[in-house]
Structure 1
Amino acid sequence: MDGLQELVEEPTRTGSVPGVVALVATGGRREVAVAGVRSLGGAAMSRDTVFRIASMTKPLVAAAAMVLVDRGRLGLDDEVRRWLPELAAPSVLRTPTSELDDVVPAERPITVRHLLEFSAGHGLVPQFDAPVVVALQERLHQGPPEPQRIPAPQEWVARLAEIPLVHQPGRGWTYNTGADVLGVLLARVAGTSLSQVLADTVLDPLGLHDTGFSVPAGSRDRFATSYRADDSGDLVQVDGPDGQWSEEPAFASGAGGTVSTVDDWCTFAQMLLAGGQHAGRTVLSTEAVRQMISPQNRAEPGNLFLQDQAWGFGGSVDVSAGQLWEVPGRYGWMGGTGTAGYLYPATGTVAVWLSQREMAGPADLATVGRFLTAVARPGR
């Protein structure tokens, strides 16, 4: 792609991010550009640098769920209370901003499909001061990934059960928490950890050796340090190579807990583009892939998280081109740690952008947006 190296170098020259690795793949060709450093004052960035990919985890865990559906271990319309009895009788807020005791009973059970399409009612709403958002952040640590702070799954689900749903199951769209619930459910279905489920269903079949919920000691020299900007714009370290991803967490977050590389995530996306095939074997059925990357649910118009696009299973699906970087049919998602990954079925293209500064506002989105615009509209 013309200008890819310049796109990754520009934000590192201005100091807005320490480093970037970006990839654009079409057909059998992968183009990769690298700039900057893994940590301030540290080693140069490299193609195999490992990043905290945050919400780019969601498509991976959705794919794991669909593998279990393909294997007959669970069905999309199965009620989750079979495995999550804590969620058998949830209460529902009268309005998304109601106090936590202003509730009515749920009118129907939560299903696996509801978790995948983010319609179960668990999750964040755009009003960040709403009591339910405050509760999710304080009790469940919904927000920037901090894996070692989240309680173990049994306690986490017990806490979740005390927080009302934002809307009736199947009658709305709420962000993030459904992916964590899905991760707990998959572990209980399989009788093991989510880390093992993801390895068995997706990572090992695809050979994604740098993707997971922790970074082994032998790979930490390739692990980027993460940063956020303080009020003055200076970069402040959030987590280092020997920090929160140095050991397996008690709670593996299906919403945002994995690390990966540009090549690993590209391999995953290319499997989806190939209808679930990889290296001559079937990882996912064609029907499972179709459902994942097709519109399944919509948020209310103007929703801060989804804007006016749709949600598939695990990622957004563009249904309009409201922004220059949006292309109808594009599937994928961004991560709040400064990452983005999308696949474009119409052109067979994959685009991955990995950096290590948390996104905090329009300027951060604009940096990634320039890259995605160049992919969607070459020459613009």
Structure 2
Amino acid sequence: MADKLNRILKERVAHDAATKDKLLGAAYVVINKDGLIYQGSAGRIRQPVESPAFATDSVTWMASMTKLVTATCVMQLVDRGLIKLDDDVRPLMPRLAKMQILEGFTSEGEDGKPILRDNPHPITLRHLLTHTTGLPYDIIIPDIMRWSQHVGRTVNNLSWTLDGFDTPLLFPPGEGWCYGTSIDWAGQVLESLTGLTLHEYARRNVLDPLGMARTGFLLDELLQPNSTEKLEGYVPGSLRNPETGELADTNPPGPSPPPVASGGAGLYGCAADYAKLLQALLKILAGSSEEVEGGGLVSKAAMDEMVRPQLKTDKQRADLKQSISMLLLTPELPADTPMDFGLIGAMNTQDVPGQRRKGSLTWSGICNSRWWMDPQTGIAGAMFVNVSPFGDKAAYELFRELEQAVYAELVPRKE
């Protein structure tokens, strides 16, 4: 299998200055509960051909791959009895308590004023983890950008500030599904309950215990001390020209250091570290409650809940499906794949021929890195790249091809 995966990686990356429809570099890991099954990489970390090689320990922006780490941290608080999934978090977060629901505008023209009404409904931790709160990502919702302009707002979600995360709701909590800043607010709930920043909590309770030394919210910290090895191992990212298909180097996102640790998108890290997280979660899934007790990141009961379908209404599932289609959230899967959502990611509710089994979970980041976890087969994987814009065809086709190769080798085909 290793030879085949290595070949696929090498075929998909650029080997000279021509980058049309190629990636500069990529790293890939496959894991089961016992550890790595495969790790490999190909390509380079920056545009110049002589740049250092892209490796499984090359650090890059993880974007929404962060959400799995944050959800794991939050579920630890549930395990410890600090909060329940269905508790109303508004008393902990005054900003959430003040959020109103945007119902539209008084007119279509520029003079139209936002129509807002108070939200009388609870906002629960489950709402935040499943994106059923009504909180959007402002930069992808025209009505929210219009509201921002009307109120003179000068920040957005990628400012990594509380003001940047603070927008109206698009619907009453629990009545739909909308991808947005809910996990950022889950991180803020954690900070309120623990008295620690999300950066501090994650370092002490997830990253350090797993040995994820090259993952963190503070990029400057990861690049210290200023050793040549660490500096050369940072992947700044690349931007594809939509007309030519060629790539150019880009700068890292957001302010450094960030004003707030973004639980939804703030981590930097590498494929080798992410493999440790996926292995730890698979080990919990595979074990009994007694085996996991005291030795896992979360309890067996919490882990089982994290991978359980959470959407309760047809409206929620329809919203999810529409978002998946419009935003290319799972382009590695057939478009007609029925989907639900767990506490940690999207879930296919039927087997995908030649790929993951029913009940597998997945998510990605705007940088086009992706992970998946298959509880039925006990395997998981992650691909780390850093290319924009999101939905890059070269990236998701590579992810699909790698996954299909893994299943062809490791999982007997169902008749």
Q: Where on the TM-score scale, by shorter chain, does this alignment land: which range?
A: 0.7 to 0.9
How many residues are paired up? Answer: 365
In the alignment, which residue of structure 2 is the partner of 1:38? Answer: 45
Residue 370 of structure 1: how far off its partner (Å): 1.8
Q: Residues 298-354 of structure 1: CA distance to partner in whole angstroms, max 9, x if unpaired?
A: 431632336741111131122124686453121231112121111111111121111
Q: Write the letter of the residue equivalent to 1:77.
A: D
In the alignment, which residue of structure 2 is the partner of 1:7? Answer: 8
CA, structure 1 residues 11+136, in 2 after alignment: closer, same or farther (shift >3 Å)?
farther
Q: 1:233 aligns with which of 236, 245, 248?
A: 245
Higher Rg of the two aligned structures: 2
Gaps of 5+ in 2: 286-290, 331-337
In the alignment, structure 1 residue 90 sits paired with structure 2 residue 102: no
**Farther-moved stretch of structure 1 (296-305 vs 41-50):** 296-305
Q: Residues 258-290 of structure 1: CA distance to partner in whole angstroms, max 9, x if unpaired?
A: 112222111111111111778982321011111
Q: 2:160 aligns with which of 134, 142, 150?
A: 150
**SS of corresponding position for 2:381:** strand
> Hey, what's the Cα distance between the residues in 2 that align with 1:29 and 1:201?
22
> Hey, what's the Cα distance between the residues in 1 that align with 2:135 and 2:323?
17
In the alignment, structure 1 residue 120 sits paired with structure 2 residue 129: no
In the alignment, which residue of structure 2 is the partner of 1:367? Answer: 398
CA, structure 1 residues 294+359, in 2 after alignment: closer, same or farther (shift >3 Å)?
farther
Instruction: Give TM-score, length-normalised by structure 1.
Output: 0.85
**SS of corresponding position for 2:122:** coil
In the alignment, structure 1 residue 351 sits paired with structure 2 residue 381: yes
CA, structure 1 residues 280+85, in 2 after alignment: closer, same or farther (shift >3 Å)?
closer
In the alignment, structure 1 residue 25 sits paired with structure 2 residue 34: no
Q: How does 1:216-231 map to 2 (within 5 A)?
A: 216-218=223-225, 219-231=230-242
In the alignment, which residue of structure 2 is the partner of 1:108? Answer: 121
> Hey, what's the Cα distance between the residues in 2 that align with 1:172 and 1:11?
38
Gaps of 5+ in 1: none
Q: How does 1:203-352 map to 2 (within 5 A)?
A: 203-213=207-217, 214=219, 215-218=222-225, 219-231=230-242, 232-239=244-251, 247-275=256-284, 281-297=295-311, 298-300=316-318, 302-305=321-324, 308-321=338-351, 325-352=355-382
**SS of corresponding position for 2:131:** coil
Q: 2:170 aligns with which of 166, 171, 175?
A: 166
**SS of corresponding position for 1:304:** helix
Q: CA RMSD in A?
A: 3.1
- Percent identity (aligned): 26
In the alignment, which residue of structure 1 is the partner of 2:194? Answer: 190
Residue 139 of structure 1: how far off its partner (Å): 5.2
> Do 2:368 and 2:391's aligned partners in 1 also have CA atoms closer than 8 Å?
no
> Hey, what's the Cα distance between the residues in 2 that align with 1:133 and 1:115?
21
Q: Residues 188-244 of structure 1: CA distance to partner in whole angstroms, max 9, x if unpaired?
A: 22112110121122112222111111233233321112011123322122226xx86
**Farther-moved stretch of structure 1 (363-372 vs 56-65):** 363-372
**Farther-moved stretch of structure 1 (183-192 vs 110-119):** 183-192
